[in-house]
Structures are given as structure tokens and as C-alpha cells.
Amino acid sequence: MTKKFIKNLAFVLFINLLIKPFWILGIDRTVQNTLGAEEYGFYYAILNFTFLFNILLDFGITNFNNRNIAQNNQLLRKHLSHIIVLKLVLAVTYVLISVIVALIIHYSLKHILLLLVLCFNQFLLSFILYLRSNLSGLHLFKIDSIISVLDRFIIIVFCSVMLWGPFPFKITISWYVFAQTFAYFTTAMIAMIIVYRKAKTKFFRINWNLPFSMMIIKKSAPFAVLILLMSFYNRIDTVMMERLLPDGAFQAGIYASAYRLLDATNMIAFLVSGLLLPIFAKMIKLKDSVEELSKLAFTILFIPAVIIAFGSIFYSHEMMKLLYWDHVEASARIFGILMACFIPICTTYIFGTLLTANGNLKSLNLMASCGMVMNIGLNLYLIPHYQAIGAAVASLITQIFTSLLQVFIAKKQFHFKINYKLLTKITLFALGVIMINFLSKQYMVYDWKISFMIMAFISFGLAFALKLIDLKALWEVMKQERSRQRI
């Protein structure tokens, strides 16, 4: 399992790093620079609003299905047609509730029209994720990885033509959103054809089964509650900004510019967790120890997380000046705070995934409830006083709190021993990276980008020196797995 995790992690990171950074930093960033903070902030606040009730599209079915198919491959053919019809019913419910809540909080007609298109996009994304959960549940990680970037690749092609094509074209938020719609729809159709062939069943026939749907919803409900709660404490900040502040759309736009790089780096942690969930689920079913894999996955994420987070804090102004044309100082202050969130977010992706695979939903829901209450309370106080910076501080406090809770729950559930040697190493590593950043800024060469690369190179060298990255141990694991396969 460790060999499978390492091999597929390398592939999924490679293919995603080819596509998604250009989407986030090339296309999405350029669209915001072209449209301005206020217009993009209007779109970004509504986009985050669609995430609040996103769970109604899925109701935890994707996470449940990923774990279920990983442990029982034969259920794919049996469940597929019923779940697809159920997701269509949930989509209608999602749109209705989103519109009702939007009217309650006094969204205008302009808000509602954009909301409807974005809701449809969210349905397509949810459908793609469900189809991918079948592929990853079957451990078809390479196919899943290709599907995971296909929609972004299509959007990049369309938006590149609109932004830099030979024909005069003025991009608007509407065109930007419709390009996403086309990309998601195309990807969903391709993914459906692949899963259909793997299932070898005629699932295109409408097949509504109420008892089966109620059974799935009942089993998925704990997953649904967890995702709903986490969506609130991860996405409600810009919605609250847009509603609470007189210049809410503008503040949301500045926050979005600072959040963009965090969103890009989160991709790495999300991909790792996507690989870990089915692997953890199968290991738990076979009663294999998950301690070594948890340690390996945490270390693999923690090292780049610390380098990226502290590097972004020290070089916040330079990065924002490189990426944006306006409001650089304001974005830089928010950016430094938000990037500090990357370390606890990575921790959550490892230990939260482990607890999800083990079915510890009650504990996770209690954790997420505390996180949601804390985040909303902090935002209600901090946003009116400190605007977008207040929202960033609220996010950082919430992420640290919830990640530590998940580590504690995992330790208790799996009887992990406290690894004082590892804790000492990661503490020394974090302090070392801070010092390396400080020195690289003090003695900066002509171009800050070169200083940043030198800092990253030396920091990775420190990780090797402390044996946080042990290539010899990884090679031994790979050789042992190969020997087992031959036997």
C-alpha cells in the first residue's frame, strides 16, 4: 500500500502541477486583474455562497461511496444507476434552497442570475467528483488523476483564446462562468462514459428506488453534516464580508487575490487526501497498521507546507506585486496571514482523512461544529472592525484549532504513540526555515525570486539533514513491496 501511495502520489502531483497552477495563477488571476477587485469580488462572494449548501448536492455520497467501493468493489454495478438519479433529485433541492436563502439575505436579481449558473456548475463539479470516487475506489488512480485536471485544461484553452487570442474580445464574468460550464459538462460526460464501461451496466436507464435512496442518505448523513459544517467555517468569510461591509464586494475581491495562492497550494494537500482515503479504508478493513503511512503522508505534506507558508509570509509583498496590478499592500497583509493556514490545513487533510476512512464521523462532526461556531463568532466581531484582515485572522485561528483537535482524536482512536523524535525534528525544521527566510531577506540578491528559490533549496536541504526526508527508507519500502508482489 505504501508503494502504491508513493507511485500514484508522484503521478497525480505531476499531472496537476502541469495544469492547475496555470489555471489559478495564469487564467483566474488575469481575469481578476482585467475585471478589477470589485467586479471579481462580486463573483467570488457568490461563488463562495454556492459552497455553503454544496453538501445538498452530494449529501456525503462521494466520501461514503469512495470508502464503500474501496472496500467492496462489486457494489459499483449495483449502486451506480440509483445514485445518479438520487444526485439529480438532490441537485433540484440544492438550487431551491440556495435561491431561497439568497432571497432571505436580500440578494438582487443580478446576484440571483449569476447564482443560478454557478449552482449548475456546482452540480456538474459534484457529479464529476462522484464519478471520480468510483475510479479511486477501484484504485484506478491514474485515470482519476487525468479526469481531475481535464476540466481545468478545457477552461484554460477557452479562456486563453478570450484573453490573449487574435480577435478583439472583452471578457466578462458571464463569459468566464459559461466557459467553466462548458468545461465541467464535457468532463462529466467523459467521466460518465469511463465509469459506465468499468461498471458494465446499463445505468443510463432512469431507475428511481426510494428505499435504496433513503438507505444511502441515512448512511451518508454523517458525511453530509461534516462537509456542511466544514464548508461554513471555510467559505462563509467572503459571504459575510460582502453582506456586512459597505464596500463588501471590493473587500471580498482583495481577500480573493490573497486567497488565490492558498487555494493553489491546497491542491497538493487535497490530492494527497484523495489518494489516502481509499488506501486508509482498505488498510483499516484488512486491520493493517496505519501509523507508518500516516507519519509518511504527514511528513511529505508538512515539509513543503512549512517552506511555502513561511516563505509566503516573508515574501508576501513581493509575491502580490508580481501577481496583481492594484491593492498590493492590502493584499500582501492578508496573504501572509492566510498562507500561515496552509500548515494546519495540511494536518487536517491527513488526520481528517484517516478518521473519515475509519468512520469516526461523530467525533469529526463535533470538531467541525466547534470550528463553525468559532469561525462565525470571530468573523462577526473581526470583519466590521478589521475588514478582510479580520476574516483572515479568523480563518487562521479556526484552522489551527480544528487541526489540533483532529490530531488528538486520531491519536486517541488509533492509539498512536507520541513520537518525540519526530516532534523535535519538525520543530527544529520550522525554526530553521524561519531563520533561513530571515537571512535570505536580510542578504537578498538583486532579484527576490532567486533569493526565494535559494531559501527553498536550503530549506529542503535542512529537511534531508534532519532526516525528515529519508530516501533510503523510502527505497527500502519500495523494495519490500516489490518482493511481496513477486512472492
Q: What is the pLDDT of residues 67-96, one digit of tens each?
A: 666 566 555 666 666 777 888 888 999 999
State the average pLDDT for the chain: 83
Q: Could you read off the pLDDT of 193-203 as tens digits, one per residue? A: 887 777 665 54
9 pLDDT band, cuts 50/70/90, is low
The pLDDT of residue 486? 45
What is the structure's pLDDT at 472? Answer: 62
Q: Which three cell numbers stand for residue 381?
A: 466581531
- pLDDT tens-digit series, residues 322-367: 888 878 888 899 999 999 999 999 999 899 889 988 888 889 889 9
The pLDDT of residue 149 is above 80? yes
Q: Tell me: pLDDT of 274 over 80.
A: no
- What length is written for the chain? 487
Query: Which residues have a Cβ under 8 Å from the Cβ of 302 and sit 6 or more positions away?
Result: 343, 346, 347, 426, 468
Pick 313 or 13 by higher pLDDT.
313
pLDDT (0 to 100) of residue 16: 73
Q: What are the b/e assignments for 295-308, b being 16+ CB within 10 Å?
A: ebbbbbbbbbbbbb
DSSP string, 391-407: HHHHHHHHHHHHHHHHH
**Residue 64 above 70 pLDDT?**
no
- How large is the average pLDDT for residues 410-422? 88
How many angstroms separate the CA atoms of 161 and 88, rounded? 33
pTM of full prediction above 0.75: no
Q: Decide if pLDDT at 29 tops 80.
A: yes
Rounded to whole angstroms, the Cα distance separating 463 from 385 reads 40
Asked whether the beta carbons of 414 and 400 are under 8 A apart, the reply is no
pLDDT category at 455 given cuts 50, 70, 90 is very high
pLDDT of 74: 57
- Scanning 210-290, the segments in alpha helix (DSSP H) are 210-244, 248-285
Is residue 259 within 8 Å of residue 339, measured between CB atoms?
Answer: no
Query: What does the pLDDT read at residue 483?
Result: 44
